[in-house]
Amino acid sequence: MPKELVLWYSTPAKDDEWESKSLPIGNSYMGASIFGGAIYENKHREKLTLTEKTFWTGGPSELRPDYRGGNRNEQSYKSTKAVQEALANGEKDKVKELLSALTGGGDGYGAFQTLGNMYFTFDGIDETVDYKRKLNLANGSASVCFKNGGEYHRREYFASHPSAIIASKFITEGGTHSFSVSMDNAPEGAEFLNTEGEFAMFGKLADNGLEYYMTVKLHTDGELTINPVGVKNATKTIIYICAATDYANVYPNYRSGKRPSDIVYDRISAAEETRYGAVWLEHQADFVRLIDRASIDLGAEIIEIPTDVLLEKYKSDEADKNEKLLLEEMYFNYGRYLLISSSRGDTLPANLQGVWNNTNTPPWSSDYHINVNLQMNYWPAYVTNLAQTAIPLIDYMESLRAPGRVTAAEYFNIVSDEENPENGWIAHTQSTPFGWTCPGWDFYWGWSCAAVAWLCQNIWEYYEFTGDKELLGEKIYPIMRESARFYLQWLIYDQKQDRMVSSPSYSPEHGPVTIGNTYEQSLIQQFLSDFIEASKVLELDEELREKAEEIKPKLNPYHVGIRGQLKEWFEEDTDGFDTSEIQPNHRHISHLLGLYPGKAISQSTPELLRAAVVTLNERGDESTGWARAYKLNLWARTGDGNRAYKLLNGLISGSTFPNLWDVHPPFQIDGNFGGTAGIAEMLIQSHEGYIHILPSLPFAWKGHGSFSGLCARGGFEVSCEWSDGEIERIEILSKNGGICRVKTGDDILEFETEAGKSYSL
Ligand code: FUC
């Protein structure tokens, strides 16, 4: 039975502490951040910041009749060709001059919006004694409770995925509660409708005409008030919140044609009919089923300490062993909690802030960055037994194919037509819910030809971990096949390098523009490996596979430099190589993707592994949130558990807010997900054709610990217990049957399994 891990605080979050202290709940469609009630104009006021994941500006609009996902010139491919030639001829000035053509527009990019802040302003609450604000990771709920004189107040909140609503119950014992509902930071031009027991907000976004509707319904044993909407003298009030838009991820219009109010009232009425208790039980069953699938126990005992105090102790190195382990266990499960809460069902994937947002101008638009961030969001999905959280990612990639064909045609002259309708798609560094696939508006961060190859790795792993051939055939493979067509047409032969190359290439946000950098070569090579495998599994596309088999070895991505480092650029260490833009500690470490999440650099390639370690040491351990998480995974793959642990320490101490959200800064959720994946990667790996148990167990975790339900490629679910660093028990559930290989210590054990059977070792 997993531990009941709870984040808790003895104070509310202040108005301006959304990113650092509010507590997130979400059902993937909607998010709410709970502040817990502060005194405002002499009254106790609960604050909730609300979001709906599809509530975005940008995209097609009457204001932008020419919207084309940022693609701005049908003949940009001519510039691409010219840059390729200039690069091959070493004409650096010409390259610089031409690069501005390899950019996209910015008009209509848009941003993730907030629905605003909802307030419940109470009468008669003068004090909050014995105050506790909690986020229960075990059952997916938040709560606030305190005493006010002789009254006991408790408010509970949860976001139900099956009901697609946010529900709350306010209870008062020894007295009553009276409150009114209001909002601020609502969308500009929003209209409000107050009726008995209901507060509704609706409108159209001025930018793109996106329609939205949100309503808050109250059921109480007290009296309902209308102006303002609220309740009086109640001991119990039930609140349902639901919001929807008319967005649909369908190119090129991106509208569903459905009325958001219909969606909202269908959901709310269903919940009203089911009643609160049953909605809660349904949510419980749904949430617990997922969160309980995997757990880790590093040996910590639960102690009574507020999470912000615990974090402070951890940061100042005053935490004792138990406190440290407790926070690490919590960090692991928090990542899983956030993924369950922000990525399920028929909606968009988790964005840079998951599904939470308090502003209409969030950093990087809170978009889908695909030169590391979106990929990292899904790193914990498979290994921590939450494969279905990746479905929104797969669907999102599918939705980018149609607009991505436009970008492939315009910038690469890879054209889909009636004869070849799926001839290749591509996307670059950043994307939106409205099919934004062009390069960014500045080449130096915006060009990222390998982004799609990298994303394909994420979705191919769905099959590797689950063995779900049906989903592979239906959803994953078609995306991979069209991506393969793109890359096989895009790569060109470079005489000087005697390789097939991606050119021009740009290592994410770092260094000079070159031919065939390690980032692009390695990701495309890994992708071709995966594509070959996928086409074999499905016995499809022999011709395309043969082409991939022929090209794959010619990419030759990895090269060791004079310091023993793994080179980021092929031309590195040669005369005339432009080092002016190189930052030794740059946060991106894109040339090590073959080590993690890729498979090309591993224990079985010791020379490359050594070079990767040199590179990791050169880059250093300090960085932004996601970059620390990135290096944690990389170190875990090297087998150096203590160093991986150091990175985990740095991530928690240096890049974590009191609500345990990751700090880039600002808040960016990728680091949470990367951190969770990294912890799993220290405990189990399966990228070398066998399951490696405790591959990177740090000294700090050696005592006594266990994990259960972590997943390995091949469809295996693994549990393990250890003492003094020695494995005491392993249990492997084979979901699909087949051969199981397990490495413990130096030996690899191999045995045949039957589907559905567990094996104890
Ligand atoms: C990548 C990073 C930035 C930031 C942004 C959202 O491009 O280089 O640091 O995380 O994504």
Q: How far is the CA of 314 from the centre of ligand 1 (A)?
A: 27
- Gyration radius from the chain CA atoms: 26
Q: How far is the CA of 369 from the centre of ligand 1 (A)?
A: 7
Pocket test for ligand 1, best of 365, 510, 664, 672 (most atoms within 8 A of CB): 664
**pLDDT for residue 272:** 95
**What atom of ligand 1 comes closest to residue 670's alpha carbon?**
10
Q: How far is the CA of 72 from the centre of ligand 1 (A)?
A: 24
- Residue 548 host element (H or E): helix 542-551
For residue 89, what is the DSSP state?
T
**pLDDT for residue 320:** 97
**Peptide bond before 65: cis, by omega within 30 degrees of 0?**
no
444 pLDDT band (50/70/90 cuts)? very high
Pocket test for ligand 1, best of 352, 353, 369, 444 (most atoms within 8 A of CB): 369
- Distances in Å between the Cα of 479 and the Cα atoms of 399, 409, 522 are 10, 17, 19
For residue 502, what is the DSSP state?
-
Ligand 1 site, CB within 6 A = 352, 364, 369, 371, 373, 509, 587-588, 624, 626, 664, 668
Distance CA 655, CA 637 (A): 22
Q: Under a CB-based contact definition with an 8 Å cutoff, are residues 644 and 595 in contact?
A: no
> To 10 degrees, what angle do helices 518-538 and 542-551 make?
150
**Long-range pairs of 686-689 with CB within 8 A, sequence gap ≥ 24:** 686/712, 686/713, 686/714, 686/716, 687/599, 687/602, 687/637, 687/713, 688/599, 688/602, 688/603, 688/604, 689/741
Buried b / exposed e across 527-546, counting CB within 10 Å, b at 16+?
Answer: bbbbbbebbeeeeebeebbe
- Distances in Å between the Cα of 673 and the Cα atoms of 79, 240, 659, 678, 718 are 38, 29, 15, 9, 20
Q: Which residues pair with 662 in a beta bridge?
A: 656
* pLDDT, mean of residues 523-544: 98
**pLDDT for residue 73:** 87
**pLDDT for residue 448:** 97
418 pLDDT band (50/70/90 cuts)? very high
Q: Could you identify the residue written with the tokens 């319904």?
A: 217
Contacts (Cβ under 8 Å, ≥6 apart) of 277? none
Q: Is the pLDDT of residue 332 over 90?
A: yes
Q: How far is the CA of 432 from the centre of ligand 1 (A)?
A: 15
Q: How far is the CA of 308 from the centre of ligand 1 (A)?
A: 27
Q: Taking CA 547 as the corner, what is the angle to CA 546 and CA 553, rounded to the nearest 5 degrees? A: 95
**What atom of ligand 1 comes closest to residue 509's alpha carbon?**
8
Q: How far is the CA of 655 from the centre of ligand 1 (A)?
A: 15
Q: What percent of the chain has pLDDT over 70?
A: 100
Q: Is the pLDDT of residue 498 over 70?
A: yes
Q: Under a CB-based contact definition with an 8 Å cutoff, are residues 424 and 402 in contact?
A: no
Residue-wise pLDDT for 295-313, tens only, equals: 999 999 999 999 999 999 9
Q: Is the pLDDT of residue 595 over 70?
A: yes
Q: Taking CA 414 as the corner, what is the angle to CA 412 and CA 418, rounded to the nearest 5 degrees? A: 150
Is the sign of the CA dihedral 160, 712, 709, 370 positive or negative?
negative
Secondary structure in 3-state letters for 183-236: EECCCCCCEEEEECCEEEEEEECCCCCCEEEEEEEEEECCEEECCCCEEEEECE
* pLDDT, mean of residues 561-578: 96
1 pLDDT band (50/70/90 cuts)? low
Q: How far is the CA of 330 from the centre of ligand 1 (A)?
A: 26
**What atom of ligand 1 comes closest to residue 429's alpha carbon?**
7
Pocket test for ligand 1, best of 430, 509, 585, 586 (most atoms within 8 A of CB): 509
* pLDDT, mean of residues 535-564: 98
**pLDDT for residue 450:** 98
Q: Is the pLDDT of residue 745 over 90?
A: no
Residue-wise pLDDT for 465-481, tens only, equals: 999 999 999 999 999 99
**What atom of ligand 1 comes closest to residue 664's alpha carbon?**
10
- The bridge status of strand 116-122 relative to strand 129-136 is unpaired
Residue-wise pLDDT for 18-75, tens only, equals: 999 999 999 999 999 999 998 999 999 999 999 999 999 999 999 999 999 999 988 9
Q: Is the pLDDT of residue 551 over 80?
A: yes
Distance CA 636, CA 640 (A): 6
